[in-house]
Every structure is written in structure tokens, then in C-alpha cells.
Chain A
Amino acid sequence: MSKLNLVQAINQALRHEMEKNPDVVLMGEDIGPDGGVFRVTEGLIDTFGARRVVDTPLSESGIVGVAIGMAAYGLRPVVEIQFMGFLYAAMEQLISHAARLRTRTRGRYTCPLVVRTPYGGGIHAPEHHSESTEAFFVHTPGLKVVVPSTPAEAKGLLLSAIRDPDPVIFLEPSKIYRAIKEEVPEGEYLIPLGEARVVAEGKDVTLIAWGAMLHPTLKAADQMAEKGIEAEVIDLRTLSPLDSATILRSVEKTGRAVIIHEAPRTCGLGAEIAARLCEEALLSLEAPITRVTGFDTPIPLPKTEKYYLPDVDQIVEAAEQVVGF
């Protein structure tokens, strides 16, 4: 076991799976000799060659469309799109084809495809490089959506995503690509999709987050602990299919929920989680369900993005209000 950051952990996962399965093919822009814009695929072309680490034309919709055909034929393509904001060009391919190929052919054709893309703000990137629109994909029947929050999580979830028989959108929080190092198990390490993780146990309030937002959420929980408030923190890990059972179990215990996401507020995944809690845990609720989210604006350019992104203070404030309700 060695201490790796998220970029290295994903690289290790890709290498592991490519060694194991000759049908795994990587495709994307600049993923070859350049190793990808975030260096996630660094060195893979040296080991596996240009046949399996394919630098493609600059063509996001084409890359995803071609990958659908490859997957249907029997390969396991893993696509890298440089930034989530550039994935929009491929929305039609994802929604109209990848997501429904299995069901529209009643199982005759399938689409075991992974689309990896960095997402989220806080890295002082140019316009269109800090999007957090995971709800588009969660809203699309037939897609799975996975967001790792630490290096080890990234490895375990990515291996499961590549082996999944259906299309998976794998969102990599770019803010924490190199911010955290932790022990990452070598070799086989699988985290099943569709299972959330209780990161910290507590009895007073449930804090629900994913991706980069897990980290300010954990800090907020620490600060609250100093004041005697015990927060339970859930890392969703898989946004679709959503692990409602873990969320419900926790909120039935705490009676209070705060959902934290950097995506815009309206129709963000927080809205869906709140609706489920209202439908299924109303009698356990001691306070209104609260959301700490980005605003309903495009994420601002770097000069003002910090005013947009939820921070530790906002999470503490929201949780304390809920606890004191």
C-alpha cells in the first residue's frame, strides 16, 4: 500500500484494469504522450501503446458516440472528457443512446461505457472549466453517476465502474485531485456502486455531501463537535442509483438533515433527497430539511467563485440552525 493522491489512484486503477482486461480501451483528447490535462493517464501509453490509449480528434460528441459503438461491439471503452463543461456537446449521445440502448433493444445490445470527467469549482480555472451539473445525468434514466471523494474511494469506485455492464458517468472532483494523499490498496480493490458511506457517526444531525464538498462538510462536523453537536456525515459516492436506505436510516436517527452541494440549488440533487425524506421520513423530522448549495447562477470566474461555493462556515451555520430549530 502506498500513499497516493486522487490523480495517482485513478491512474493506478486504470493501469490495473487494463492489465486485467485486454478489452479496456482509453480514449480522449491529449491522454496519450501528454498524459491528459490533469496527467491522470500519465505513462499509460508507454505500457499499453497507442492502440489502447487513443488520442482522438477534438470531438467530444464524436468520442462518446464512437465509444458507444465500441462498447456495443464488445469493448470496454473508458472515455476522458477534459472538463465537465465540454461534456455538454455529448449530451445527445449520452441521453438518447448510451442510456437507453439496453432497454430500447430489450437487452439485445448493451453499453458498458465509462465517461470520466473532472468537475466542480475552486481551482481558479477559466470559464466553462468548473461546472457541477451532475443532476442532468442523475435525471437521465439508464445512466449511473459516481463521484469519489478520496483517492482510495476513487480507485475502488472506478474499478467497479469499468466492470459495470451499463454506462457510468464518473465525475472526478478536480479541486481535490492533488489536495489529499492517503493509503490506497494495491491490486484488486472494489467499492460497489449504489452504496453510500457513513464517514462519521453522530446523533444530532445528518450532513449529506459528495465529491469535493465532503471535505468542508467534515471540517464543519469537527467544529460542531467542539460545541457538543454530534453530526453524522454521509458521503453518497454513487448519485445514481441513489442509496436512499442509508440516508433514511440516518435521518430517522438524527431527525435533521442538511444537504450540501456546489451545484446550483434549483433541481439539484439536494431537492430530490429532500423530497424523499419528506415522503418517507416525515414523522422522524424535527426540523426543516436544509440545503447548502451554489446559487442559481453559472459558477463565476475565479475572482468571485469563492462567494459561490459553499464553505465550512455556511455548513456549520445551516447545521446549527437545524439543530436549534
Chain B
Amino acid sequence: MPKKIIHEFKVEFLQILDEAGRVDRTLWPALDEKEVKGFYEAMLLIRTFDEKALNLQREGRLGTYASVQGQEAAQVGSATALRPSDWIFPAFREPGVSLLRGLPMRMIYQYWSGDERGSAIPEDQHDFPIAIPVGTHIPHAVGAAWAAQFKGDPVAVATFFGDGATSKGDFHEGLNFAGVFRLPIVFICQNNHWAISVPLSRQTASATLAQKAIAYGFEGIQVDGNDVFAVYTAVKNALEKARRGEGPTLIECFTYRLSDHTTADDASRYRKAEDVAAWRKKDPLVRLRALLEREYGWSEADEQTLRRQAQERVAAAVHEFEAVPPANPEAMFDTLFANLTPDLLRQKEQLRKRLQKKERD
């Protein structure tokens, strides 16, 4: 019996806006000037929010924070493609997605300052709180997609995670379930090349992360994650496919973590400055600004106006965040279960007495 090839697979790569800000018009997603400028505005807002977070942390006004610099295009492109009725399940490096979904900026600062109220997502928003344990939220997203399909709701689910998460069992179990049950979900991998100090080459021997989808029986695509139009196009197509009942998609956004893992990290211990410098040239904001300048006459004055507006918005959010009344420590008991158990009632009372005594002393 001669050997034969029973399957062959290909992995697509999508780029619409290159590093020099040039656009492939054959792939252009039919966005008008206002929408293109809206993308830039959102990316600049995220960068400004992020820089402020790092400053607040240095000044002791915020706890440990995970910066998202370099990944703005991947966040804006995907968040813009989502509908408000869709559900999202973010990891911990998605403040940009959360902001665009409408989570008050104050709440993101609140969370990273160590206040649970930052995860009390507004009722009208279908956003899960961020997940700190890597990749463990992927099955939750799959379950929500399953429930949406079960109830016949016309929604899709998107979940975000990094390259490190693809090494975890949760990634495998989640994608496998989604493939088997053909669920309305989009897996958005932010391949930023680093899981703290461990490079992508130590996460996988695969040529791409996108190709992992093939083993689960659905499509995977790699996109230039610093090209907001490529991300937007891929995510939009995948969400529409999900809503049509045609199953899941894995999108690998090929991007780079420009900053340290968190404010508790020093990336100079494990990666070369020249590597980071090379990626700075691919900065998603720089290339989009180049496009704006060439196509829409974007001026230095426009840029300065936009920057000032972003800074004002961020300053207002910081003000709101710092004006929030202190958290009530007794609240730690109140929402553990729907009702306080006798033990929790007792413990809450103990804490209350201790607080009263402290106040008296």
C-alpha cells in the first residue's frame, strides 16, 4: 500500500497596514476617515492611560500594574469589532479592550490599586473580570459561548490571552470543547513574545500559534498584531462567522510587549535593548499616525490636540479614582455567598468589633 498524504494544512497571515504606514487597498476593510481617526484616538488614549498607570505606581498611588504598551492595535482592532451584546473574557493585560467596551477608566485604576470594586463590572456590560491565573478563563468563555448557543442568543464570545497561555492545559481543554461543540467563540491570542522572562521559543516548537487551531478542527489565522486594520478585519470576520453558527476561530495577533511584564519586573535582566528597539520601530501608533498624515493631512496641531484631550480624560479618571470613598472592610464577607452563613456572620461581627475598638483607641 503506498503512503499517501491525507491532510495538508496552511496558515494565513494578514497585514493591511505595514510598518511604514502603507496600506494594501485590496484588503482595506471599508472604514471611513472618522473611523480611522477613531482607531488612532483609542490607541492614544490607551497609551496615555497606561503611561499614567506606570507613573501612579511609581508614586505609590497604584499597586503592581501590567502595562499594555505595544499591544494597542491588537486591543483596539478586536474591541471595535465586538458588539455590546457580545461577551468578553479578558486576561490581565487587556485594559484597552475593557476601556473600549465601556468599563469606566476609574475602575481599572481601582482594581490595580487593590480594590475589589474595580471588578464589579456594570450590569449592562457583558464583560468578565480579568483573570490573573494564566489561561484559566478560556474555559469560562467557552462555557458562556455554549450557554449563548443553548439559549439561542445572537451573541458571540471573545476571549483574550497571551502566548504563555497556549502552553497551559486550559487552552487545550477550552479550544477542544469549542471545536467539538462548534461554539460561537473567537480566541484572541496576544502573542507579545514574552511570558515574564520566558520567550516564545520556550513556549512552543510550533512555527505559529495560529496553527494550533487546526488540531482542534477550526481555523487559525496569524495577523500583524500591530496593524489595527488587520486585527479588526480578522476579528470582525471571525465574530460574524461565530454568529452564523459556523464555529470558533483562533486569531494570533503577532505583537510585542514593549514594557516590563509588570511594575514588579525588570525586563533588562532577560532581553536585549536592541530587540526592544527593533520592535519600537513597529509601534502600532507610529504607523497609524504615518497613515493619518499621508491620507488625511493629520498635522502636529491635530496630534497635540488629541494628546491633550487624552491626558485630560485620564486626569479626570484619576481624580474620580482617588475620590472614591475607602472600601468597607466588612464587605469582604457580604458577597461570598448569596446569604451570610452563621460562621461568616460571626466573623464579620468580630471584625466589626475590632474596627470599633481601633476607632476608640
The residues of A with any CB-CB pair to B shorter than 8 Å are 25, 51, 56-57, 59, 61-62, 64-75, 77, 92-93, 96-97, 102-110, 141-142, 144, 164-166, 194, 241-242, 244-245
When distances are taken between beta carbons in the complex, the residues of chain A under 8 Å from B148 are 73
How many Å from the CB of A102 to the closest CB on chain B?
5
Query: Given A109-B128, A166-B337, A245-B342, are A65 and B138 neighbors across the interface (CB < 8 Å)?
Result: yes
How many Å from the CB of B233 to the closest CB on chain A?
27
CA distance A102 to B332 in the complex (A): 11
- Residue of A70, A93, A165 touching B147 (CB-CB under 8 A): A70
Cβ A102 vs Cβ B337 within 8 A: yes
When distances are taken between beta carbons in the complex, the residues of chain A under 8 Å from B131 are 97
Sample of 4 further A-B pairs with CB below 8 A, known A72-B140, A102-B336, A244-B343? A66-B140, A70-B146, A70-B147, A194-B342
When distances are taken between beta carbons in the complex, the residues of chain A under 8 Å from B331 are 106
When distances are taken between beta carbons in the complex, the residues of chain A under 8 Å from B120 are 105-108
CA distance A212 to B174 in the complex (A): 35
How many residues belonging to B are interface residues under a CB distance threshold of 8 Å?
45
CA distance A318 to B123 in the complex (A): 55
Query: Given A65-B170, A73-B87, are A241 and B342 neighbors across the interface (CB < 8 Å)?
Result: yes
CA distance A102 to B117 in the complex (A): 12
CA distance A218 to B88 in the complex (A): 52
B133 at the interface (CB under 8 A from A): yes
B214 at the interface (CB under 8 A from A): no
Cβ B119 vs Cβ A72 within 8 A: no
- Residue of A69, A194, A241 touching B140 (CB-CB under 8 A): A69
Cβ A72 vs Cβ B143 within 8 A: yes
Closest B residue to A102 by CB, please name it: B335
CA distance A129 to B329 in the complex (A): 42
When distances are taken between beta carbons in the complex, the residues of chain B under 8 Å from A62 are 139, 142, 170, 173-174, 176-177
B84 at the interface (CB under 8 A from A): no
CA distance A75 to B153 in the complex (A): 13
When distances are taken between beta carbons in the complex, the residues of chain B under 8 Å from A61 are 139, 169-170, 173
B121 at the interface (CB under 8 A from A): yes
Closest A residue to B123 by CB, please name it: A108
Cβ A93 vs Cβ B136 within 8 A: yes
How many Å from the CB of A145 to the closest CB on chain B?
12
Closest B residue to A56 by CB, please name it: B177
When distances are taken between beta carbons in the complex, the residues of chain A under 8 Å from B170 are 61-62, 65
Interface flags, B125-137, vs A, CB<8A=1, else 0:
0001101010011
10 nearest A-B residue pairs (beta carbon): A69-B143, A65-B139, A62-B173, A73-B147, A69-B140, A241-B341, A66-B143, A106-B120, A70-B143, A165-B338
When distances are taken between beta carbons in the complex, the residues of chain B under 8 Å from A93 are 136, 139
Cβ A92 vs Cβ B133 within 8 A: yes
Closest A residue to B338 by CB, please name it: A165
Interface flags, B324-341, vs A, CB<8A=1, else 0:
000000011011111001
Interface flags, B150-173, vs A, CB<8A=1, else 0:
110000000000000000011001
Cβ B141 vs Cβ A103 within 8 A: no
**Which of B141, B147, B177, B344: most chain A CB closer than 10 A?**
B147
When distances are taken between beta carbons in the complex, the residues of chain A under 8 Å from B337 are 102, 142, 144, 165-166
B322 at the interface (CB under 8 A from A): no
**Which of A69, A104, A242, A245: most chain B CB closer than 10 A?**
A69
CA distance A106 to B107 in the complex (A): 13
B33 at the interface (CB under 8 A from A): no
CA distance A241 to B147 in the complex (A): 29
B180 at the interface (CB under 8 A from A): yes
Closest A residue to B340 by CB, please name it: A241
When distances are taken between beta carbons in the complex, the residues of chain B under 8 Å from A75 are 147, 150-151
Cβ A106 vs Cβ B117 within 8 A: yes
Cβ A104 vs Cβ B338 within 8 A: no
Cβ B343 vs Cβ A69 within 8 A: no
How many Å from the CB of A105 to the closest CB on chain B?
5
Cβ A71 vs Cβ B143 within 8 A: yes
How many Å from the CB of B347 to the closest CB on chain A?
10
B303 at the interface (CB under 8 A from A): no
Query: Given A241-B342, A241-B343, are A69 and B133 neighbors across the interface (CB < 8 Å)?
Result: no
B144 at the interface (CB under 8 A from A): yes
Q: List 11 A-B contacts (CB under 8 A).
A: A57-B180, A62-B170, A62-B176, A64-B139, A69-B141, A69-B145, A73-B148, A75-B151, A104-B119, A165-B338, A241-B344
**Which of A56, A61, A166, A242: most chain B CB closer than 10 A?**
A61
- Residue of B89, B177, B336 touching A141 (CB-CB under 8 A): B336
How many Å from the CB of B129 to the closest CB on chain A?
5
Closest B residue to A92 by CB, please name it: B136
- Residue of A72, A97, A106, A245 touching B144 (CB-CB under 8 A): A72
When distances are taken between beta carbons in the complex, the residues of chain A under 8 Å from B173 are 57, 59, 61-62, 65
B295 at the interface (CB under 8 A from A): no
When distances are taken between beta carbons in the complex, the residues of chain B under 8 Å from A141 are 336
Cβ B335 vs Cβ A103 within 8 A: yes
When distances are taken between beta carbons in the complex, the residues of chain B under 8 Å from A109 are 121, 128-129
B116 at the interface (CB under 8 A from A): yes
